[in-house]
Amino acid sequence: MHILAWTLLALALVVWSGVIYGGMVILAEAASRAESASTAEQQSDRLAYAQRLSALAVDTKAQRERLDTLTHADIVTAVNIIEAAGKDLGVSVHVSNAIPVADGSQSLPGGVQLQAIVFIVEATGSYASLTRLVSAFERLSLPSTVDQVELEYNKNADTKAVSWRLSARIRVLTTAVSS
């Protein structure tokens, strides 16, 4: 009887060891499946992201090429476009300065530098023609903004002619300027 008790105890220990081992195997298998599922989901997400990025690159190719063309305008071309806006409206426009903005440089992908240049523009004419000119400056075919506009009333006492003087600061972004 004594041997039977020890044998049953040993058998119970073996059975419990088997139950514990089986439980650990089941937990390890569940963790492995969860990790596999997580890895598969991450790979699926990466693939979907890569496909969206590729589609976006294809969809925006024409716009990116146009933007590259627009931002590659050199200073002389920008001045000609600004002065042509005045000529189209019958207003004499003079660009007096082109000033690189000190903190206006930004690195783009591919090592290209995008530089901001401020042009000081002066013109004279009637109030209506100068307001149309400012509107034309806001729609230039360049990546630009009109930073400042000053309109000054001038009355010539000799001829009694009424005219206005315009002074504007136009910021243009370009990649054609090296810092």
d(CA 116, CA 98): 10
Which residue, 93, 99, 145, 98, is CA-closest to 124? 93
Q: pLDDT tens-digit profile of 33-46? A: 999 999 999 999 99
Whole-model pTM: value is: 0.61
Structure confidence at residue 52 (pLDDT): 87
Structure confidence at residue 94 (pLDDT): 94
The 3 state secondary structure assigned to 44-75 is HHHHHHHHHHHHHHHHCHHHHHHHHHHHCCCH
Structure confidence at residue 59 (pLDDT): 82
Residues in a beta bridge with 94: 122
Consecutive 10-residue averages of pLDDT for the chain (179 residues): 84 89 91 90 90 83 72 84 90 91 73 85 91 93 91 73 87 76
